[in-house]
Amino acid sequence: MMFYLQLLEAIKEEDFYKTNDILLQIKQQDDSIEYVEELLKFMENNPNIDYGMPGPIVHYMERDCMKGYDNLLYSSVKRKPTIHTLWMLNRLINSPELINKKKYINLLESISVNPIETEMIRNEALFYLQYQKNHSV
């Protein structure tokens, strides 16, 4: 992961152009699912950074939606949900490619009632849970 430290610095600076440029280098020279796993861990530990909506980081991770990203995101949200990763989870649930939506909706439900989580995180999970229940087919 030769570009990882450069990528983290760009993300910390909230410089979307620089982040995007580094991600292009990663895609061309050092692409690996390991970046996705490490980026999710970084997000868990840095919930107050502006990652964009969705921003280059999310676009980078989502391109491998059903090639490991889905499971890595699930594990990350289960481990330490943040406002941004809950939003990403909701985007994943909305994907027509996702087969086992119930698993991800159940995760939202468990977070929404977990007394260990902050009220803000529980409310965010509840918001997406209600959205999914109102928009299920």
Q: Which of 36, 27, 87, 32 is nearest to 62 (CA)?
A: 36
Residue that wins the pLDDT comparison between 29 and 99: 29
CB atoms within 10 A of CB 68: 13
How many domains is the chain built from? 1
pLDDT score of 65: 76
pLDDT tens digits along 44-83: 999 999 999 999 999 999 987 778 999 999 999 999 999 9
Give residue 56's domain range: 4-135
What pTM did the predictor assign? Answer: 0.93
Closest CA to 55 of 41, 67, 43, 71: 43
